[in-house]
Amino acid sequence: MKKNDYRGWQEVFRFSFMQGVKQKSFTGFLIFMCVLLILGPIALTFFQSGKEPEETKVTVQKLYIFDEVNLAIDYENAFEGTDLSDVDVEVRSDITYEEYKTNIEELEDTKDLGVQIGYEDLGYFQLNFVRPAKADLSDEECDMVIDTFVTFFEEAKRKAIDVTEEQMAFINQAVNTEVLFTDESGAIIEEEEAAEGISMDEYFILLGGIMVCLMIITLNGSSVANAIVTEKSTRVVEYLMINVRPMALIVGKILSCICLTLIQFGVMGVSYLISTVIQKALFSQEQIDATMDSMSALQAFQGLNVVNIILCILIILMGILFFSILAGLAGASVSKMEELAEGMKVYQMVQVIGSYIGIGICIMEMMGGVNPLIINICGLIPISTPFIVPAMLLTGRMTVMVALIGFVLLTLLTVLLYIFAARVYESMIFYNGKVLKLKDILTISGVRSGKGGK
Amino acid sequence: MSLEVKELVKSYGDKTVVDHLSFSLKEPGVYALLGTNGAGKTTSIRMILGMLAKDSGEVLWKGKPMDSMNMNIGYLAEERGLYPKYELMDQLLYFAKLKGVAKDVAKERIAYWAKRLEVEEYLYPKQTKGKKKEKPKMADQLSKGNQQKIQLMAALISEPEILILDEPLSGLDPVNTDLFKEIIREEIAKGKYLIMSSHQMATIEEFCKDITILNRGKVVLQGDLNEIKKSYGRVNLFIKCDEEFDDVIAKHGLEVLNDTPDGKQLKVTGEEQAKHFLKDLLAADKTVVRFELREPSLHEIFVEKAGAQHEEE
């Protein structure tokens, strides 16, 4: 018997795929996700756009200016052409800002604000606002007055020193600094890249990514193992083996599981696109953008581009393949459905180790940061690659090169596992007895010498 | 010579489960592969079907190595195999497709066998007026006997050249047993090659010309069933009289193998002793209502051969 005879895998694939599609759990989950992805974003945008900003009623009557920098600025026109044109502006020089501040705090019936414009020794302008604490002024209206005045001041300042907007933008560019460290001899030593922690939002994004990968891989693995044990325990395998060889059987099953997963993702993607199209038809671009902006967690996806997405899909698929072959072996090591949990121990242990490495990295990142070298090393361990690399790559915490190396290593291990499976699967598929241990499987494969069993 | 099994050997570790098994089916008919539980029958069948790698030996079909994947073989396994939660029609079409039967042809054959085996209601859900169409049946909603019928359909759907039936009648009621027997007879009449394994010796005697009895992987008896029986001679005497005849039995020193309301089964050395015994019965004025002298049954031969080996071990 040729163990590597793959004839008939297409039929196994078609049948397994169609039966998978017919499963209520598959269609139920798919419908749920489609509804969620189509209606969720629409509902979110609807509710966001429904929140029309309440028009802030400004009752502030006057803004007193305490100018200590003497720039040639005409403050009296500060609110001209704005919604606050009713607010008067008066430059005070009769009293100091400190005196005004002391007086205003005691007043209850005033609706005036004061601002001190100063220049600090460290080289920047300082605008200090003061408002009567006991007066009937809302935070919103005060903020509106302050924001409008600051905008006016920035513009007036630029005009006062006679620079264009472009020049100002250039001047305002962020200044990057680098501190070099030298050793006793004066030579520059490289400082280890500072590890920065992640926000809670980013933590949930990373953890969510790992959990999604874990869910996909677990679902696929368990469905392959279940299918194999079902065929073994019901003896269907006896019928199949006349026309299909063991490896063709497992290949057909794994590929059907992968296809079902891809369909789920594909349909989910299409659902989201449909949702986007509907959103565009129903809402303005500003409303959609505002909804996207409100989801600050999405900002964590710094590495979101086509290449990275394709690489992530490939890594997840390879992960599914690796863990499905492992699950197939676990399924073949038992004869009854009720023994499956025991047979899956090794599979689960490998999966738990792989995913826990990823979760550990997330927790360490949140607690203060992990050295990127450690993230890379963990991403290169094949059993943790599918759990770590997609999340790290899409959030910009891992380079494409490291992800590629991780993918290659995972592929190599998958190929080795497949060769091993091809050696033992035929003997295991007809095995009917107590749960096979790892050493028994190694004995069957010839890696260990020992007695076989029927 | 069409099907030839030569020196098949299979071992697991240091345990040989099939030890140099050879037999052949020279012409269409039924060959019986017998043995106690664990004798190596199923392993032998799996090797013949190419499901299991053999350590040595070969299986030839019309003089060439047999490749089950390129042949039309029907198999009814001892332990029935159906997916419990999939629709029966889907399963039958799947098995047919694996054997290279086109979907429309498969559907026609399914319809034929469903009618023949009286399982139409499970494969073609009814739609009564004013009521919702019934859901297609799953295997786990069927009785054991009906599941077996579906299995037989799966084995016959490709109109196989070789049919391997492992315990085909176990668990069937008398009506369905007769139905299965009828179908087996039809397949024999069509010139098919059948290998049958069963613990029901009467069924084997009914269908099989040649037999092999395996015990612990070894062949303990093989050949033409009639020849084997003849070699034992007519040593079983079944006798029933209206009167008690224990005194005549004692006079001849015969061993009573069975004592039933239908008479006694006695062990004789041959036809001569039987004739003397009958003569003495008549002389003693006994009314003989049954006198039957025959060879040992396959059941007795099997117990003798396989049972003896068991005791030795």
Q: Quick one: A321 exposed, middle or buried, by C-beta within 10 A (0-12, 13-18, 19+)?
A: buried
Q: What percent of chain B has pLDDT over 70?
A: 97
| pLDDT, averaged across chain B | 88
Residue B126 has pLDDT above 50, yes or no: yes
Mean pLDDT of B60-75: 88
Partners of B102 on chain A (C-beta within 8 Å) are none
Task: Check CB contact under 8 Å for B97 and A11.
Answer: yes
Asked if residues A344 and A317 have their Cβ atoms less than 8 Å apart, the reply is no
- What average pLDDT does this structure show over B45-55? 87
Confidence of residue B150 (pLDDT cuts 50, 70, 90): very high
Give the per-residue pLDDT at A2. 52
pLDDT digits (tens, 9 = 90+) for A204-261: 777 887 888 888 888 888 888 888 888 888 888 888 888 888 888 888 988 898 888 8
Q: Which of A233 and A322 is assigned the larger pLDDT?
A: A322
Q: Per the CB < 8 Å rule, is B82 touching A236? A: yes
pLDDT of A408 over the 90 cut = yes
Please state the φ and ψ torsions of residue B254, each to the nearest 5 degrees.
-90, 150
In chain A, domain spans:
9-48+197-445, 62-171
Order across the sheet with B288-294: list the strands: B255-260, B263-267, B236-241, B288-294
Query: What mean pLDDT comes out for the span B244-269?
Result: 90
Q: Would you call A243 and B86 a contact, using CB atoms and an 8 Å cutoff?
A: no
pLDDT for A374 equals 86
* Lowest mean per-residue pLDDT among A124-128, A422-426, B137-141, B299-303: A422-426
- Residue to test with chain A: of B18, B54, B69, B82, most A Cβ within 10 A: B69
Chain B environment of A242 (Cβ under 8 Å)? 49-51, 68-69, 73, 75, 98-99
- Check residue A299 and give its pLDDT: 63
Please check whether residue A83 is in contact with residue A149, taking contact to mean a CB–CB distance below 8 angstroms: no
pLDDT-above-70 percentage for chain A: 85
| CA B130/CA B151 separation, integer angstroms | 34
The predicted model gives B193-200 an average pLDDT of 90
Q: How far apart are CA A26 and CA A13, in angstroms?
A: 16
Q: What is the pLDDT of residue A191?
A: 45
Q: Is B130 helix (H, G, I), strand (E, B) or coil?
A: coil
Residue A132's CB: how many other CB atoms inside 10 A? 19
CA distances from B195 to A234, B53, B82 (A): 23, 19, 22
Is the model's pLDDT at A452 over the cut of 50? no
A6 touches chain B (CB under 8 A): no
Kindly determine whether residue B17 and residue A454, on different chains, have CB atoms separated by under 8 Å: yes
pLDDT for the residue A296: 56
As a whole number, mean pLDDT of residues B226-241 equals: 89
ipTM of the complex: 0.78
pLDDT tier for residue B109 given thresholds of 50, 70 and 90? very high
Percent of chain A, pLDDT > 90? 11
What tokens appear for A231 in the block? 């065929």
The 10 Å Cβ neighbour count of residue B34 is 25
What gap in Å lies between CA B63 and CA B156, rounded to an integer?
A: 25
Q: Contacts for A285-291 with beta carbons within 8 Å, 24 or more apart?
A: A287/A45, A287/A48, A287/A49, A288/A45, A290/A48, A290/A49, A291/A41, A291/A44, A291/A45, A291/A48, A291/A49
Q: In chain B, which residue's Cα lies nearest the Cα of A7?
A: B69
Rounded to the nearest 10 degrees, what angle do helices A9-22 and A246-282 cross at? 40
Measured over the CA atoms of residue A440, residue A445, residue A447 and residue A451, the dihedral's sign is: positive
Give the residue among A203, A58, A211 at the shortest CA–CA distance from A138. Answer: A58
| Average model confidence (pLDDT) across chain A | 80
- pLDDT tens for each residue of A150-198: 888 888 877 777 777 777 776 666 555 454 555 556 555 554 444 455 6
Distance, in Å, from the CA atom of B69 to the CA atom of A5, rounded to the nearest integer, reads 10
pLDDT of residue B154: 93
Are A430 and B82 in contact (CB < 8 Å)? no
Contact between residue A317 and residue A258 where contact means Cβ atoms under 8 Å apart: yes
The DSSP letter of residue B138 is B
Mean pLDDT computed over B169-174? 87
What mean pLDDT do residues A4-21 have?
A: 86
Nearest to A20 by CA among B159, B86, B8, B3: B86
Chain B partners within 8 Å of A233 (Cβ):
none
A244 CB within 8 Å of a chain B CB? yes
Query: For A87-138, where are the alpha helices, taking DSSP H only?
Result: 97-104
Q: What is the structure's pLDDT at B77?
A: 85
Tell whether the model's pLDDT for residue A298 goes beyond 80. no
A-chain residue closest to B56, CA distance: A1
Domains of chain B from N-terminus onward = 3-229 (3.40.50.300), 234-294 (3.30.70)
Residue A349 to residue A360: CA distance in whole angstroms: 16
pLDDT greater than 80 at residue B225: yes
pLDDT in tens, B9-38: 998 878 889 999 999 998 899 999 998 888
Highest mean pLDDT among A220-229, B127-136, B272-281: B272-281
- The predicted model gives A92-108 an average pLDDT of 79
Q: Do A279 and A41 contact (CB within 8 A), yes or no?
A: yes
pLDDT at B234 over 50: yes
Sheet holding A62-67, edge to edge: A88-91, A62-67, A112-120, A124-130
CA distance B47 to chain A (A): 9
pLDDT value, residue A188: 55
Whole-angstrom Cα distance, residue A377 to residue A375?
Answer: 6
Q: Any alpha helices (H) in B86-234, and if so which ranges?
A: 88-98, 103-116, 120-123, 144-156, 174-189, 201-207, 225-232
- pLDDT (average), residues B254-265: 90
CA–CA gap between residue A343 and residue A329 (Å, rounded): 9
Distance separating alpha carbons of residues B142 and B84, to the nearest angstrom = 9
Partner-chain contact B51 A230, CB within 8 Å: no
Say if residues A381 and A410 touch (Cβ distance below 8 Å): no
Confidence at residue B237, expressed as pLDDT on a 0 to 100 scale: 92
Check B52 against A430: CB less than 8 A apart: yes
Q: Which residues of A touch B82 (CB under 8 A)?
A: 234, 236
> Is B52 in contact with A235 (Cβ distance < 8 A)?
no
Q: Quick check: B200 pLDDT over 60?
A: yes
Give the separation between CA B94 and CA A230, rounded to whole angstroms: 16
Would you place residue B310 in the very low, low, confident or very high pLDDT band (cuts 50, 70, 90)?
low
For residue B193, the distance in angstroms to the closest alpha carbon of chain A comes to 17
CA atoms within 13 A on the CB side of A90: 11
